[in-house]
Chains A and B, each alone.
Chain A
Amino acid sequence: MRFSDYILISLQNIWRQKLRSALTIFAVVIGATSVTIMLALVTGAKGFFTSQFEANGVLQQVVVSPKADITNYDEAQHGGGGNCDSCVKLTDIVANKIEALPHATGLARVLTSGSVEAIKLGDKKLTVNQVKGYDTNGVITRTMVAGRDLDGNDKTGVITVSSDYADKLGFKSNYGSLVGKKVDLITRNWYTGIGADIPKPQMQPGANNEPNNKSTVLSATVVGVSDSNSDSQVVRAPLDWVHGMNMNQMWQPDEAYNQAAQEKCQRRTPGPCNVEQKLVLVSQDMVERNGYDSFVVKADATSNTAGLVTEIKKLGVGAADAQSYIQSQIQIFNIVGLVLGGIGGIALLVAAIGVINTMVMAILERTREIGVMRACGAKRSTVRALFTFEASLLGFLGGIVGIAVGYGLTRIANVFINKQLASNSFQVHNIIALPLWLIVTVIAATTVIGFFAGLYPASRAARLNPVDALRYE
């Protein structure tokens, strides 16, 4: 017998009992559809979250935060600031220790500054939430749409902006023109960092000291425009510059000089001695006091991030990798997937029983025909193969229809999810996809289920004694 004979005969037999075959296939379809949607949903969600991270090599990164009890990546990234009870200051010493750990191939110190209020180019002025500074050593990279990313030669006076900013500054679809432009970073009032012009207080009694309640304008050159992502009100700058922005500069009496002057005066003229106080501009390094906001550590491989997290945590600081964050984000999809998968699994089990039942019935009905086939020279193995094939075909057809129905349902689901994503300004859509491997897997699985369900009935058919089968009424 040829393979085409098996197909033809099986199809004929399935067609013969239309209703029964349809019901049997329907059960397979329910299972296949549930499993299809489950797999599509979970892989779609995983793919979506992973792609959000993958682009910048984030999957290979571990974020270190001063908070020891940090559990997820997102928290670690935003949980900066060294003012909590269980916090460990992120110093250069800690950074060196981490960099010396096995599987750590690089480390970038991260420091944010909230002292810039707006970015201004010509008459356009946009709000800035923070300036993010980091070691431009290649550990943290951005996907650029124009210009270049920050690099190791950058110290001060350069920034990169997201394409969102570029759009709003009037460079939509013309990002290249923004590159090389000088923009103004306008600080908040009371700015005391680098570049601030802090008036020296007048120490004479009765002097009217102007408070430093004015903002400073820092000039910056845009060297690149990065691909937009969700934290769009952020300007990126080299670490040194942000370090400087966070300096706390103030005028203070020069105690040693003033003391000496006082003594010198008293020696000369007894009685009260009014010496002019000398003031010096000191700058307090806030990083020295509070440490860095966070570190980003690059592991040598994605698979080693978890181990690196454990090692880093031993130093008393908090650490998390994106993997666990992605996991926690897709938890909900996993649960929905599990429920659907459970339903699908049960449906497939019921479907398998349905296939067994259908095939046992078919064999009872066709006992005499099996006898005739045997008399005409069909081998036991041919009869077995024929019925196993027929059962597999039921599963296969169920899988095909199930994929078709699943495809329709995911298309509908995508319409709703797209709306949701668009309202959250994500630039992705149709995240629930049916990749080829999924289609092949589902159809193969239902076919295999049909195959296994057909084994018992088929072996019964093959075992039939031809003489008895021919006499069967």
Chain B
Amino acid sequence: MLRFKDYAYGNKQKRFMPNILELRDLSRTYKLGDEVLNALDHVSLTVEKGQFIAIIGPSGSGKSTLANIIGGLDKPNNGTVQIDGQDLSKVRDNKLSTYRNQHIGFVFQSFNLQPHNTALENVMLPLVFSKLKRSERKKRAKECLEAVGLGERLNHKPDQLSGGQRQRVAIARALANNPSIIIADEPTGNLDSAKGAEIMDLLKSLSKQGITLIVITHDMNVAKQAQRVLEMRDGKLTERRG
């Protein structure tokens, strides 16, 4: 978990909130035959702890690529990713995995629940890779499911749940290990607007509790709820509203 002495101070003049995330000159390229594709082109970004930011942009602009790098699923070709004072672009896979486990919660557009496991088992998954005792895992997973309003659906399998409920399970799973950042890549993309609004309310309530929230979306209605909106275009990131 975060320790105060590790906090980096950004924008000292304005506020005294520590920066949880500092991206500097990030580049991520894909080689496709002879062509080189710049999925991320010198991206820099600073996010304060507890902020809720939205990243918008057209399809293929590099939003998911950025989210994956922040989440430690991918590594940049160039630049640094400072999270909690630690440079992720240098660490090895083992440490990156532990980082994902301890600091990041992912929420995906297509929910990505384990289809054969119950809601409870799905939420327990990140806890399995932590050092928690089995009884504590269960207790914690229950708490998380209750927090997203699914206390009555512990033993339902994903195909016995509605889309909105599935995304709640996914959010509960993201919450399980008390993450400092939740990265949601199009969390409402597969839901109708009413269910999408409910999911956004849930995510916002988490942000209010101090979790840093990064939401990627096509939907301006979603984006406008964020404290900051950034736009991705051809791998370049610009601040739209801060």
Chain B 94-115 residues near chain A, CB threshold 8 A:
94, 97-98, 100-102, 106, 108, 112-115
B230 vs chain A, min Cβ distance (A)? 21
Known: A372-B125, A377-B102. A470 touches B112 (CB 8 A): yes
Picked from B68, B94, B126, B173, the residue with its CB within 8 Å of the CB of A379 is B94
> Is the CB–CB distance between A470 and B173 below 8 Å?
no
Chain A residues lying within 8 Å of B129, measured Cβ to Cβ, are: 1, 373, 376-379, 382
Picked from B73, B98, B177, the residue with its CB within 8 Å of the CB of A466 is B73
Residue B201 is within 8 A (CB to CB) of chain A in the complex:
no
B61 vs chain A, min Cβ distance (A)? 16
What's the Cα separation between A391 and B231 when bound, in Å?
Answer: 47
Residue A374 is within 8 A (CB to CB) of chain B in the complex:
yes
Chain B residues lying within 8 Å of A381, measured Cβ to Cβ, are: 94
Residue A371 is within 8 A (CB to CB) of chain B in the complex:
yes
Chain B residues lying within 8 Å of A16, measured Cβ to Cβ, are: 116
Residue of B nearest to A13 (CB): B116
Chain B residues lying within 8 Å of A372, measured Cβ to Cβ, are: 112-114, 125
What's the Cα separation between A375 and B125 when bound, in Å?
Answer: 10
Residue B219 is within 8 A (CB to CB) of chain A in the complex:
no
What's the Cα separation between A396 and B119 when bound, in Å?
Answer: 31
Residue A368 is within 8 A (CB to CB) of chain B in the complex:
yes
Residue B50 is within 8 A (CB to CB) of chain A in the complex:
no
Chain B 59-118 residues near chain A, CB threshold 8 A:
68, 71, 73-74, 93-94, 97-98, 100-102, 106, 108, 112-116
> Is the CB–CB distance between B94 and A376 below 8 Å?
no
What's the Cα separation between A376 and B129 when bound, in Å?
Answer: 8
Residue B128 is within 8 A (CB to CB) of chain A in the complex:
yes
What's the Cα separation between A262 and B188 when bound, in Å?
Answer: 145
Chain B residues lying within 8 Å of A2, measured Cβ to Cβ, are: 134
B229 vs chain A, min Cβ distance (A)? 25
Residue B130 is within 8 A (CB to CB) of chain A in the complex:
yes
Residue of A nearest to B99 (CB): A377
A107 vs chain B, min Cβ distance (A)? 71
Picked from B71, B112, B116, B177, the residue with its CB within 8 Å of the CB of A371 is B112
B167 vs chain A, min Cβ distance (A)? 14
What's the Cα separation between A374 and B173 when bound, in Å?
Answer: 13
What's the Cα separation between A371 and B71 when bound, in Å?
Answer: 13
A209 vs chain B, min Cβ distance (A)? 106
Known: A368-B112, A373-B125, A376-B125. A467 touches B73 (CB 8 A): yes
> Is the CB–CB distance between B114 and A375 below 8 Å?
no
* Size category, A interface: 20 to 34
Residue of A nearest to B173 (CB): A376
Chain B residues lying within 8 Å of A380, measured Cβ to Cβ, are: 93-94, 97
What's the Cα separation between A378 and B100 when bound, in Å?
Answer: 9
A226 vs chain B, min Cβ distance (A)? 65
Residue of B nearest to A377 (CB): B101
Residue A5 is within 8 A (CB to CB) of chain B in the complex:
yes
> Is the CB–CB distance between A374 and B108 below 8 Å?
no
Residue of A nearest to B71 (CB): A375
Known: A467-B68, A467-B74. A375 touches B106 (CB 8 A): yes
Known: A372-B114, A467-B68, A467-B73. A377 touches B94 (CB 8 A): no
Task: Please encode chain A, from 1 to 41, with 1 for each CB lying within 8 Å of some chain B CB and 0 for all others.
Answer: 11011000100100010000000000000000000000000
Residue A311 is within 8 A (CB to CB) of chain B in the complex:
no
What's the Cα separation between A373 and B102 when bound, in Å?
Answer: 13
What's the Cα separation between A371 and B114 when bound, in Å?
Answer: 10
Chain A residues lying within 8 Å of B108, measured Cβ to Cβ, are: 470
Chain A 381-407 residues near chain B, CB threshold 8 A:
381-382
Residue of A nearest to B96 (CB): A379
Chain A residues lying within 8 Å of B116, measured Cβ to Cβ, are: 12, 16
What's the Cα separation between A9 and B128 when bound, in Å?
Answer: 10
A385 vs chain B, min Cβ distance (A)? 12
Chain B residues lying within 8 Å of A300, measured Cβ to Cβ, are: none
Chain B 155-196 residues near chain A, CB threshold 8 A:
173, 177
Chain A residues lying within 8 Å of B73, measured Cβ to Cβ, are: 374-375, 466-467, 470
**Chain B CB within 10 A, most for which of A16, A380, A381, A467:** A467
Residue A369 is within 8 A (CB to CB) of chain B in the complex:
yes
**Chain B CB within 10 A, most for which of A4, A376, A377:** A376
B27 vs chain A, min Cβ distance (A)? 16
B77 vs chain A, min Cβ distance (A)? 14
Chain A residues lying within 8 Å of B101, measured Cβ to Cβ, are: 376-377
Chain A residues lying within 8 Å of B134, measured Cβ to Cβ, are: 2, 4
Known: A1-B128, A467-B74. A377 touches B112 (CB 8 A): no
Chain B residues lying within 8 Å of A12, measured Cβ to Cβ, are: 116
**Chain B CB within 10 A, most for which of A371, A377, A466, A467:** A377
> Is the CB–CB distance between A377 and B106 below 8 Å?
no
Chain B residues lying within 8 Å of A470, measured Cβ to Cβ, are: 73, 108, 112
Chain A residues lying within 8 Å of B100, measured Cβ to Cβ, are: 374-377
B129 vs chain A, min Cβ distance (A)? 4
Chain B residues lying within 8 Å of A467, measured Cβ to Cβ, are: 68, 73-74
Residue of B nearest to A5 (CB): B128
> Is the CB–CB distance between A377 and B74 below 8 Å?
no
> Is the CB–CB distance between A378 and B97 below 8 Å?
yes
**Chain B CB within 10 A, most for which of A369, A372, A378:** A372
What's the Cα separation between A156 and B97 when bound, in Å?
Answer: 90
Chain A 322-348 residues near chain B, CB threshold 8 A:
none
Residue of B nearest to A473 (CB): B110
Residue of A nearest to B133 (CB): A2
Question: Can you list 25 A-B pairs with a CB-CB distance of less than 8 A?
Answer: A2-B134, A4-B134, A5-B128, A368-B112, A369-B114, A371-B112, A372-B125, A373-B129, A375-B73, A375-B100, A375-B106, A377-B97, A377-B101, A377-B102, A377-B126, A377-B130, A378-B97, A379-B93, A379-B94, A379-B97, A379-B98, A379-B129, A381-B94, A467-B73, A470-B73
A9-B128, A467-B68 are known contacts; what are 14 more A-B pairs with Cβ within 8 Å?
A4-B134, A368-B112, A369-B115, A372-B112, A374-B100, A375-B73, A377-B130, A378-B97, A379-B94, A379-B129, A380-B94, A381-B94, A467-B73, A470-B108
Give chain A's interface residues, CB within 8 Å of chain B.
1-2, 4-5, 9, 12, 16, 368-369, 371-382, 466-467, 470
